[in-house]
Amino acid sequence: TVQWETLGRLFVEYEQVAPFLIPEEQQRRLLDFLPLFLKAWEQSAGVIIFPNIQLLASEVSKLLTKEIKRTLNGKPAEEARLALEHMLQQKEERTMWNIIGSGLPAALMQCLYLFFTFPLKKTSDDGETNEDESQTQEMLVKIMLSMYREKQGVEELLAADKLQSLIIATASLWDQCCHSWKVPTGLVLRTISKAQTKNSILYLQAVDCIKIAIQNLFKLADALLACDACEAVSIVLCFVKDSYPVSPALLTEFENNDGYQLLLKILLRCEGLQQNEGDPYLNEILDMLTCLTTCGKTELKVSGNIVHPQLPHFDFEWTRSSGMTVKNLQAFQVLQSIFQKSNDRHLCGRILGAIGTIWAWDTVNFFLLEWTLQPINKFIDIIHFKTHPIQVQFFKLVESIVLDLSYIPHEILKKLQYLIKENVVPLCTLAALQCLLSMTRKDLLFSDIFRDSGLLGLLLALLRKQAKILRKSAGTHLPGLQEGTEKELNAVMLKMVAALTVGSVRNTVVLKDYGMVPYIKIFLDDECYRSATLSILEQLSVINYEEYMSIVIGALCSSTQGELHLKLDLLKSLLRILESPKSHSAFRTCSGFNGLLSLLSDMEGALQDPPSGLWADVGQNCILELVFYTLQGITAALHLDPVNSNFFQKNGLFEKMAEDLGCLGCFWTQGEWHSSLSLEKTRTFAEFCDAAFCSSEPFPAWLKNCIWILNFLDHMVKGTLKEIKLEMGEASKDDQEGTQAEGEHPVAFKRSVNELPASVYGLWGNPEDKWETRDCVIVHPGAVCVMVRLLPKLYKEGHSQLSQEIQCAVADHIQSLVKSEKSIQVMCGSGLLSTLITSCEDAFRCNSHPLHLPLTRVFEKLASQSIEPDVLR
């Protein structure tokens, strides 16, 4: 009090003389006065008895303003900013140290204790009062957070007993405290926790703070709401976790007083909480518990047995400690017990996430845990009780052992195989199979492992059973069999068998020895099984081309008119196999050529304009796609194979091809016609192709289809048909809707089933010689004969001029193909002369026929080389 009186007199004297002093002298006297004021404040425990405090604050504010202006004066912006930051940091630091040393930290802690533990009964609903309270609370909390971030600020609290009192109060009075002060109190205590010192830890240990808090929380655990219990226990756990880097004392106290049992009890009460209810504190507890698994005095000493075989790049020696290894099995046991005892989706999901995090910290953690507590091994026994999202997450975690750790856990794989065999919950079995499928695709080694373990045999037995059911139910609908989980399970089993046979001749032999081929082909009819089934059959071709060809060609011939997608998938598979020259003989002996030509025969009238009958529901582009892949299949079988080429030629199959193509509906089939219009300007075949496919020029549908087919044949002639792709661009609205609908079935093929505009297709070859015919090498001369046979059929009533123009363009194109001596020789050997005479007899007889001149030139070129007697007659 004497100090304050002395300071009061000194400040009154300053007030009296200040108006007569120069600014520098005013500043000097005020700066001399401030240390005396702060000293008096420190010695009076923060209690201020100073009547002129408002005026002093005003004078100090003016002084600070002048100091800031002086610092900024005349400096560039960047330099001014740095100078100002430096000045304020110095002043703030000096001020904070003075405040901390004044006893204010302990005083404010007492205030916080009172605010938290003694809620006031509200006497008024005045909103302004509530706002004032909120502002006061915000100001106090900011001051406390600023002080308690400093270790000295925490040390100052030890002089009084309010810290341990507040911690214990949060553990014992959480249900009776002031609700509005819960969050601020937790925030302040968490800040103190992060700034703990050795002295503060010794202080809390000496007063049994953690022990008493745990005992109180045990009493409250059942009475509190789960989210409130999480909030209360998280504060205690913060002090335990944050203190460990300084001293293990509080962790030891926590463990010795059943702290882990308390956590388990509270966390299990969180079952059934809404997604966001109590989430921040529940997640905080689980995060801290996960961190505690690495807190321990010594490294775990475990000896495990690495079972072989292992992946080539796996090496256990490189798994060295990174300082983040598991040392505290008690903490992990809490996580493990929660997963074993709870079926809550959110809680179990967080536990699996925590385990994944622990593995990510250090690879060796997987081995330390699995060779001691065996969490994954034990979880497999109960995983079918969990919800499906948890099952999927769990199997993704198991999958990561192989994909991320490059380790093959043989014991775990055995248990997974048993789970699949028992098939207690089909959705769980499905998730387990998808996990094993991902592993199988990782390395060929799994093909051997899963064969030797009996998994391949198990899958084949299950598929045999399902194939028999499918065969019996042909033409009938069995509710639930072809839909939902059962169907997905069949699809994944087929994918698994396909993955096990890819690159493994031994597994393919096992499949054949099991007598599975007749059963596997049953799955071809269903689109969702087809891709995997074809993959299995393609592997079968490695050991027996004839068997593959007989199955695929048989399926093509037995398919109905409307099964376009089945035909397309079979043709694409066939093309992949025909890439091997060894398959060509099997293709021929299994009546492959006749089989593919029968596809063209079945499409009679398919390209009529307008379409009729069954073809009205099928897009014409789907039909063109089928024609394309059929011709591509024939071309692939003929490629560099003299035996097949001779067979095709001698058996009149080119003539059969021309007949079938001519009956598609876009070519004229109504008998002879003759038109002799004078054409002012004619286009080349290349220009017709560009106009039909690339420009916006309106072309009748029949003509576009004819040009497509002639274009296919032209590429076949040159041997480039196998090198091009038929690509689709933007689909129509109906297609998009169809694709979305199919997307609802994850195992279904995705393909548009409606018509696409013709412009979305594109034939891709070498852009520089797309339509080049100079010195063209004729690879398949029979295809030229097909073009000649189709030439008179390029006609449509009502389009006489356009028909004549395209005929002339094709005739000129055929003429350009027989320029070189070699081409002439090749075409003579293929019977082109005979074809010209029989197919274009009208053009030769009538000198005014538009095709007379170009065809006569072709005839003369060929006749000069070779002519048969029957042709000459």
For residue range 131-165, what is the model confidence (pLDDT) as tens digits? 767 887 888 888 889 888 888 888 888 877 789 99
The answer to whether residue 481 scores a pLDDT higher than 50 is no
How far apart are the C-alpha atoms of 14 and 11, rounded to whole Å? 5
Average pLDDT, the chain: 85
pLDDT above 70 coverage of the chain, percent: 85
Q: Based on the fold, state whether residues 656 and 692 are members of the same structural domain.
A: no
Q: Tell me the three state secondary structure of residue 224.
A: coil
Q: How many residues does the chain have?
A: 873
Q: How confident is the model at residue 390 (pLDDT cuts 50, 70, 90)?
A: very high
Burial 469-501 (b: 16+ CB within 10 A, else e): ebeeeeeeeeeeeeeeebbbbbbbbbbbbbbbb
Q: Tokens 């030891």 belong to which residue?
A: 252
12 & 73 share domain? yes
Supply 745's token pair: 């079935």
The pLDDT score that the predictor gives to residue 58 is: 77
Instruction: For residue 346, tell me if it sits in a domain.
Output: no
Q: Are 660 and 700 in a shared domain?
A: no
Regarding whether 676 and 811 lie in a shared domain, the answer is yes
Does 781 share its domain with 654? Answer: no
Tokens 């043989």 label which residue?
A: 410
In a domain, 56, yes or no: yes
Is the domain of 624 the same as that of 689? no
> For the chain, what is the domain count?
3
Q: What are phi and psi of 763, to 5 degrees?
A: -95, 125
Q: Are residues 683 and 772 in the same domain?
A: yes
My answer on whether 774 and 657 are in the same domain is no
Q: How many CB atoms lie within 10 A of CB 710?
A: 23
Residue 565 lies in a domain: yes
Q: Is the pLDDT score of 465 beyond 80?
A: yes
My answer on whether 681 and 691 are in the same domain is: yes
Average pLDDT on 525-542 reads 95
Judge whether 341 lies within some domain: no
Q: Is 847 exposed, middle or buried (0-12, 13-18, 19+ CB in 10 A)?
A: exposed
Domain span including residue 87: 2-100
pTM: 0.82
- Tokens 């400093």 found at: 150
Average pLDDT over residues 505-511: 97
Q: Tell me, yes or no, whether 610 and 674 share the same domain.
A: no
The pLDDT tens digits of the residues spanning 18-70 come to: 888 887 888 788 878 877 877 777 677 556 777 777 787 777 777 767 776 77
376 within a domain of the structure (yes/no): no
Residue range 204-234, pLDDT digits in tens: 999 999 999 999 999 999 999 999 999 999 9
**pLDDT value of position 302:** 75
Tell me whether residue 788 is in a domain.
yes
Task: Examine residue 109 and state whether it is found in any structural domain, yes or no.
Answer: no
Which region holds residue 374: left if phi is over 0, alpha if psi is between -120 and 50, else beta? left
State the alpha helices, DSSP H only, in 149-197: 151-157, 162-172, 182-194
Highest mean pLDDT: which range of 34-43, 279-288, 576-585, 681-690: 576-585
Residue 579 above 90 pLDDT? yes
Q: Which residue has the higher pLDDT, 662 or 69?
A: 662
With beta carbons less than 8 A apart as the criterion, state whether 155 and 200 touch.
yes
DSSP state of 479: T
Q: Is the pLDDT of residue 872 over 70?
A: no
Instruction: State the pLDDT at residue 54.
Output: 78
C-alpha span between 848 and 778 (Å, rounded):
31
Rounded to an integer, what distance in angstroms lies between the CA atom of residue 607 and that of residue 708? 12
- Highest mean pLDDT (candidates 4-18, 127-141, 547-561, 836-850): 547-561
- Is 672 found in the same domain as 801? yes
- Both 705 and 838 in one domain: the answer is yes
633 found inside a domain: yes
pLDDT higher than threshold 90 for residue 420: yes
CB of 517 within 8 A of CB of 552? Answer: no
| Inter-residue contact 607 to 705 (CB < 8 Å) | yes
Please list the residues that pair with 871 across neighbouring strands: none
- Using CB atoms within 10 Å of the CB of residue 138, give its burial: 0 to 12 exposed, 13 to 18 middle, 19+ buried: exposed
